[in-house]
Amino acid sequence: MASALVGVSTMPSDHASMVVHPVAPQELICSNQAEFPEAITRSIENGSFVMTMVQTPSTWDKRLEREFRKLALEEAKGTIAGDDARRLNQLNHWRDQLLNPLTSDEILLQMKRDRLLARMEILLKEYVELQEAANQTRVVA
């Protein structure tokens, strides 16, 4: 709900009169994901945006398995289109969530791993900058 209110506050004034329907909040934990896999955002010419939310399935059924296998086969052959590749990633995420859900210990471990990797990235960037600065002073001297 809070994100909907933030979205309304950033809309142009001609769209601000739109009614926001309350939706029951859903909790989402995405480990190893840079973006929410269920949300697709695209820009429009007039500066506003459209966000399409796809409802996550509650069970992995035969229809989803057939679609997943068809797209995986296309990817293996190298004939998959861009939209189909995104759909395959979405199906793969759902399949992992529904068939092999993470335990709370695994989620905590992944969160710790992500924090450590972020810290390592910062340290490596600082090290590279330090080495570049040291090399520049050697060349000048």
Q: What pLDDT shows up at residue 45?
A: 59
| Percentages of the chain per state (helix, strand, coil), in multiples of 5 | 60, 5, 35
Q: Report pLDDT for 138.
A: 78
Domain span at 7 = 1-55
Q: 34 lies in a domain? A: yes
Q: Is residue 83 a part of any domain in this protein?
A: no
Q: Is the pLDDT higher at 108 or at 18?
A: 108
Q: Is 131 domain-assigned?
A: no
Does residue 96 form part of some domain?
Answer: no
Q: Please say if the pLDDT value at position 30 is more than 60.
A: no
Which of 90, 105, 101 lies closest to 35 in space, CA to CA? 90
Percent of the chain having pLDDT more than 70?
A: 62
**How far is CA 134 from each of CA 63, 129, 131, rounded to the nearest angstrom?**
59, 9, 5
pLDDT band at 31 (very low <50, low <70, confident <90, very high): very low
Q: What is the number of alpha carbons within 13 Å of residue 98 lying toward its C-beta?
A: 15
DSSP state of 43: E
pLDDT tens digits, one per residue of 73-109: 999 999 999 899 999 999 999 998 899 888 999 999 9
As beta bridge partners, residue 123 has none
User: pLDDT tier at 129 (50, 70, 90 boundaries)?
Assistant: very high
Look at 39-43, 45-49, 111-115 and tell me which has the smallest mean pLDDT: 39-43
Structural domains in the chain (count): 1
Task: Work out the average pLDDT over 26-45.
Answer: 48
63: CB partners within 8 A, 6+ apart? none
User: Closest by alpha carbon to 90, among 105, 76, 72, 104?
Assistant: 72
Closest CA to 93 of 22, 141, 34: 34
Q: What is the pTM of this model?
A: 0.44
Average per-residue pLDDT in the chain? 76
